């Protein structure tokens, strides 16, 4: 086993992070898309709206535990963009992270498609469509409600993603009495559950460009055709662009209204230095303090 480990071990740090992001996003979308398929294809007899929201939340928690120590488990291009803006992720890693997340979501959608292929064909009568009572495209990607305007859908996705960042950032902010590192994934899942339960009826609660684009590309290649991109007047760009804007705005709100007003001297040393999302200046500051404490203890001895 050690020989095999030595041969397969990836030494490039960026590639390790991309592998982790791909696998973690795959896990997230496996829970989510599979739940969507089970509820829809059973016509509500094997689950309901709450089932889907719970599955996505469990998926987020599991994915974060899986990859947080390697890549930070962003799982969402909007989160990665915010981390770049906040100085927690180098800008050079933004595109690779986003592509890895989309790839993970695409693979998960493909696996769900194969798992539920027979059920999809039975439900749709063999006709894969975006519209109509037997449409199945919404198992994978998100689509707007018929009553929703373009501006309304953009605002919906922007607010939902902004709420994610506004509620997530305090969880590991060392100056704001953060949660224990072990509790961050379940608390993030609870936040996502709250957002899904209250802000997903308009557009299906996409709030993640990878969650929407990856499965949408799968439906493009699996038989639904170009209609998945042209429907609703080319609406597909909204769940890609709006979450990116919303995440940056949500992060900005946290900085302006909370973080910039926290005292620099209050450092919670229980916050683990291995957080991949912590900015470089913060890590150096904590390391200096710990080194100083170590020197003082040595002098006392």
Query: Is residue 290 over pLDDT 70?
Result: no
User: Residue 301's pLDDT is what?
Assistant: 43
- For Cα atoms 59, 117, 98, give the angle at the middle one, nearest 5 degrees: 40
* pLDDT grade for 293, boundaries at 50, 70 and 90: low
CB atoms within 10 A of CB 211: 34
pTM: 0.86
Give the whole-angstrom CA distance, residue 206 versus residue 138: 11
| Alpha-carbon torsion angle 70, 216, 207, 180, nearest 10 | -20
Phi, psi of 250 (to 5 degrees): -60, -40
Q: Can you give the CATH number for the domain in which 81 is found?
A: 1.20.1080.10
Give the whole-angstrom CA distance, residue 28 versus residue 25: 5
- Interhelix angle 13-41/117-124, rounded to 10 degrees, is 40
Say how many domains are in the chain. 1
Question: Which of 19-28, 70-79, 275-284 shows the lowest mean pLDDT across its residues?
Answer: 275-284
Residues 78-87, mean pLDDT to the nearest whole number: 97
Residues 6+ apart with CB under 8 A from 119: 37, 41
Model pLDDT for residues 246-283, shown as the tens digit of each residue: 999 999 999 999 999 988 744 444 444 344 444 555 55
* pLDDT grade for 6, boundaries at 50, 70 and 90: confident
Burial code (b: 16+ CB inside 10 Å, e: under 16) for 59-95 equals bbbbbbbbbbebbbbbbbbbbbbbbbbbebbeeebbe
Residue from 97, 84, 78, 92 nearest 16 by CA: 97
Give the whole-angstrom CA distance, residue 55 versus residue 44: 15
Terminal CA-to-CA distance of the chain, rounded, Å? 44
Domain that holds residue 157: 2-300
User: Residue 131's pLDDT is what?
Assistant: 93
* pLDDT grade for 284, boundaries at 50, 70 and 90: low
């Amino acid at each position: 086993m050690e020989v095999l480990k030595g041969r397969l071990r990836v030494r490039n740090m960026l590639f390790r992070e991309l592998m982790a992001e791909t696998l973690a996003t795959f896990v997230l979308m496996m829970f989510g898309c599979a739940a969507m398929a089970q509820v829809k294809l059973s016509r509500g007899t094997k689950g309901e709206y709450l089932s889907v929201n719970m599955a996505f939340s469990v998926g987020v928690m599991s994915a974060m535990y899986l990859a947080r120590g390697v890549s930070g488990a962003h799982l969402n291009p909007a989160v990665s963009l915010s981390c770049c803006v906040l100085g927690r992720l180098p800008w050079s890693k933004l595109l690779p992270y986003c592509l890895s997340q989309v790839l993970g979501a695409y693979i998960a959608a493909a696996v769900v498609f194969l798992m539920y292929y027979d059920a999809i064909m039975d439900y749709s009568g063999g006709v894969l469509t975006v519209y109509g009572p037997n449409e199945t495209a919404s198992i994978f990607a998100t689509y707007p409600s018929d009553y929703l305007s373009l501006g309304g859908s953009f605002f919906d996705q922007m607010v939902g993603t902004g709420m994610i960042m506004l509620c997530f950032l305090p969880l590991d902010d060392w100056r704001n009495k953060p949660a224990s590192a072990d509790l961050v994934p379940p608390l993030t899942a609870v936040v996502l559950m709250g957002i899904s339960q209250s802000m997903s009826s308009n557009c299906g609660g996409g709030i993640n460009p990878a969650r929407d684009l990856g499965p949408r590309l799968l439906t493009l290649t699996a038989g639904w055709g170009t209609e998945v991109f042209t429907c609703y007047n080319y609406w597909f760009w909204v769940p890609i662009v709006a979450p990116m804007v919303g995440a940056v705005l949500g992060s900005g709100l946290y900085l302006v209204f909370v973080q910039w007003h926290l005292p620099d001297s209050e450092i919670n040393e229980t916050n683990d230095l291995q957080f991949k999302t912590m900015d470089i200046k913060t890590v150096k500051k904590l390391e200096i303090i710990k080194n100083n404490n170590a020197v003082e203890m040595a002098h006392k001895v």
